[in-house]
Amino acid sequence: MTAPKKLYVKTYGCQMNVYDSERMTEALAGQGYVATDSADDADMILLNTCHIREKAAEKVYSELGRYKDLKAEKPDLRIGVAGCVAQAEGEEIMRRQPMVDLVVGPQSYHRLPELEARARSGSKALDTDFPEDDKFAALKGRGPKARRGPTAFLTVQEGCDKFCAFCVVPYTRGAEVSRPVAQVLDEAQELVARGVREITLLGQNVNAYHGAGPGGEWTLAQLIRELATIDGLARIRFTTSHPNDMDDDLIAAHGDCDKLMPYLHLPVQAGSDRILKRMNRKHTAESYLRLIERLRAARPDLHLSGDFIVGFPEETEADFQATLDLVEAVGYGSAFSFKYSTRPGTPAAERAQVPEDVKTERLQRLQALLTRQQRALQDAMVGREVDVLFEKPGRMPGQMVGKSDYLHAVHVTDTAIAPGDLRRVRITESGPNSLGGTLA
């Protein structure tokens, strides 16, 4: 019997890349590959890249440089680059790093088996097209029916039509497309059959979902309500959302769908209308705040998360203060904040830049405020009872760690708990990044 080949996948960036890496691993299973956690043991190394963060491409080239000696020691080792940097850089990757055998964009990874075969035969393999065929339809089911962890990501929408001035996603992921309802439901049922109890629906603009279903196109709210009928699926989440795609029915679902968790990631990016317009966000600070009011009217205990860009070109101190004012008004349970960094080819890259030291100082002030809000909301959880889906053992003997309804990390020391258990927990302590409790 032929020994299986070993595949090492390193994933950068967002949850969608985590999902994509799982699907790429499954696609290559048909070529005789099994996953390994060590690049040293691998017969193939695949970097699944992200283009959102600063100097993303240079970080990929640096990582590839680390495998130069390994490639020299193992001439049969194949090295591939996938994801958004692969889409953006294409042939440049192979030119700068000739040891790379395979480059594939995020819309073409269903073609990995044939690309791997070409690379294995000694040819270079490059595919950064936006193919007309549906990659999800081309991919097989979710692999062997082995048990898996209690939580899973499920991509339902890809691409973006918003063209924010700072963002490369429309160029690397393409236009907005949504998977058919039946396809999503089938994959969700497969995941639940393998032990998954919580599914997070993913999309660049997931609430722009408009998948083909019975009777016509379905909205995300319709999809969520249908997923909620699956026996064994206890929780549903979704990310990332755009304020302009939060329709009335989706707002209502936060109040009337018990399986939809009271946590929402809703990026605003800035609190200044002048900067929002320059970002091409097509919403205002006031419209965002009114949307939050409607969401909290539907679900009063909703915890909000957001994204913020500090130091966007031409941002003044008054613009930045407007962002701080918006954060104060909302009260975030968590947030992601970054200094603006240029992305070649985007409109904002050509504008007057804010000095780096100013961006750094503003980011520190914003993060201090967000940290205070996050800690205050965590501290307010002490004494409350929440449902916790336990996922894995903690660091201490007998300790189990899971996530609350509000996505807080919660640890409990009790030998009666197993991964996949959904238990009621009374919160007894609040730490810097997690909560502690006891079974209620």
Binding residues for [4Fe-4S] cluster: 14, 50, 84, 160, 164, 167
What is the distance of C-alpha 387 from the center of its chain?
23
354 closest CA partner among 400, 390, 319: 319
Which residues 6+ apart lie within 8 Å of 313 measured at CB? 278, 340, 348, 351, 352, 353, 354
Cα–Cα distance, 3 to 20 (Å, whole number): 26
Q: Compute the residue count for the chain.
A: 440
Tokens 């999503």 found at: 184
Place of tokens 């707002």: 251
Q: Annotated binding site: which residue ranges?
A: 14, 50, 84, 160, 164, 167
Calpha distance 340→323 (Å, rounded): 14
Sequence-distant (≥ 6) Cβ neighbours of residue 153 within 8 angstroms: 15, 16, 18, 19, 22, 199, 200, 202
- CA–CA separation, 117 and 80 (whole Å): 12
Tokens of 85: 């940097």
Cα–Cα dist 171/160, whole Å: 9
Using an 8 Å Cβ cutoff, are 230 and 188 in contact? yes
* Residue 4 DSSP symbol: P
Q: Which of 440, 383, 439 is nearest to 413 (CA)?
A: 439
Single-letter code of the amino acid located at 198 = E
Number of Cβ within a 10 Å radius of residue 290: 11
Q: What is the CA radius of gyration of the chain?
A: 22
Question: What are the phi and psi torsion angles at 5 (to 5°)?
Answer: -85, 150
Check residue 257 and report its DSSP letter: -
CB 211 within 8 A of CB 180: yes
Residue 75, classified by CB atoms within 10 Å of its CB into exposed (0-12), middle (13-18) or buried (19+), is exposed
